[in-house]
Amino acid sequence: MKSLKAVNWSAIAVLALVPACVATSTVAPDSTLIPRSAIFGNPERAAGQISPDGKYVSFLAPRDGVMNVWVVERGKALAQARPLTNERVRPIRIYSWAANGEDIVFAQDKGGDENFLLYAVNVEKGVERTLTDFKGVRVLTYGASLKRPDEIVVGINERDKAFHDPYLLNVRTGAIRKLFDNTEKYASFLVDDDLSIRFVTRATPDGGWQFFKYENGNATLLETVGFEDSNTTAPRGLTRDGKTLYWMESRGRNTAALMAIDLATGKKTVDPRSHDGRGLGLWGELPEERVAGCGSVDERRHRFPQRKSQGAVGRDEPDALQQDLAGR
């Protein structure tokens, strides 16, 4: 009994010390909250682009607290930029240059209804105009062309809210013409440099999609992509001569590979940088025969390889993106 009592008193003594230890080691939590503006506020600048003729630099930035499109002549300081749009309520998030280099096209909805319509503003005159004056529809953009710089191919779901019909839209005059009724329920359209629809896609019941060659109103099935690769396998564009299709492919791979498909022979050539496990991305206008540029993500580092190429936008200058991201 004596030894049992000793053990009990020892246990009680240890337990008695626990609150004291906890009290002395407790650190008051930091109650400082991350400012909401740091997460949800406007960036200083975003979505930088260069006009097709290389004359202007454009970007999104706040104007009286609302994101708008700004432009500045290339070579001048960004502080000299001027606002091109004057949205007062809804921020502009989506915009692009028309191939004519004179107009900027942007999408905007009303009150957050996500029925985005297209608007254009002339860079020199600053005059804004509505391109798609529809109610209760959402407009999508499918393609533009340097060969037909005033026109773009868009999709409008006025006839059927679930599926978009393709239209040819002139951004300079506002003229619009339906190409055909999308009764076959295609999800997207891929156009060439003549703005002719060359390929179409259609969703499958399992969450994947199918890829078709489209010619003279007839669709021929080329590829079926399952749900597991539906977000990382996709066509990325045609070269200007229409002979090569660039394609991102993740089926049977750990990361997506960039490949070029010869449309005459069907031969697929994988970019050699895709073999080392990197994920490749593609940007820029597609020239006659080869990709304008690509970037890879390797061990959390972004790589933007330099290359010499013909063009008006300083293609032979040191890669600013590579320098900016060095060491990150």
Asked if the model's pLDDT at residue 302 lies above 50, the reply is: no
Token pair of 138, please? 């959402």
Longest dimension (CA), the chain: 103
Nearest CA-CA partner of 253 in 282, 276, 222, 223: 276
CA–CA distances in Å: residue 28 to residues 19, 23, 272: 16, 11, 54
Q: Return d(Cα 130, Cα 151) in angstroms, integer.
A: 15
CA distances (Å), origin 283, targets 46, 70, 84, 158: 17, 22, 25, 31
pLDDT at 146: 93
Q: Would you say 66 and 90 are in contact if contact means Cβ atoms under 8 Å apart?
A: yes
What b-and-e string marks burial along 7-21, b requiring 16 or more CB atoms within 10 Å of the CB? eeeeeeeeeeeeeee
Residue 275: pLDDT band with limits 50, 70, 90? low
Query: Strands 279-283 and 268-270, how do they pair?
Result: unpaired
pLDDT tens per residue, range 7-20: 454 444 444 444 44
Q: Specify the DSSP element, H or E, that contains 320.
A: helix 320-325
User: In this predicted model, what pLDDT tens digit does every residue of 129-146 receive, in sequence order?
Assistant: 999 999 999 999 999 999
* pTM of the model as a whole: 0.77
Q: Would you state the pLDDT for residue 32?
A: 86
Q: What is the spatial distance between Cα 71 and Cα 56, in angstroms, rounded to a whole number?
A: 6
| Residue 143, burial from CB neighbour count under 10 angstroms (0-12, 13-18, 19+) | buried
Question: Is the pLDDT higher at 1 or at 125?
Answer: 125
Q: Write out pLDDT tens, residues 246-272.
A: 999 999 988 889 999 999 999 999 987
**Interior angle at CA 287, CA 281 and CA 293, nearest 5:** 25
Structure tokens at 117: 């319509």
DSSP state letter for 276: G
**Dihedral sign (CA 206, 207, 208, 209):** positive
Coil/strand/helix, residue 218: strand
Sheet holding 197-203, edge to edge: 188-191, 197-203, 209-215, 218-225
Mean pLDDT, the chain, rounded, equals 82
- The tokens for 152 are 């773009």
The SS3 call for residue 227 is helix
Q: Which two tokens stand for residue 92?
A: 């502009």
Q: How confident is the model at residue 195 (pLDDT cuts 50, 70, 90)?
A: very high
Q: Compute φ and ψ for 322, nearest 5 degrees.
A: -60, -45
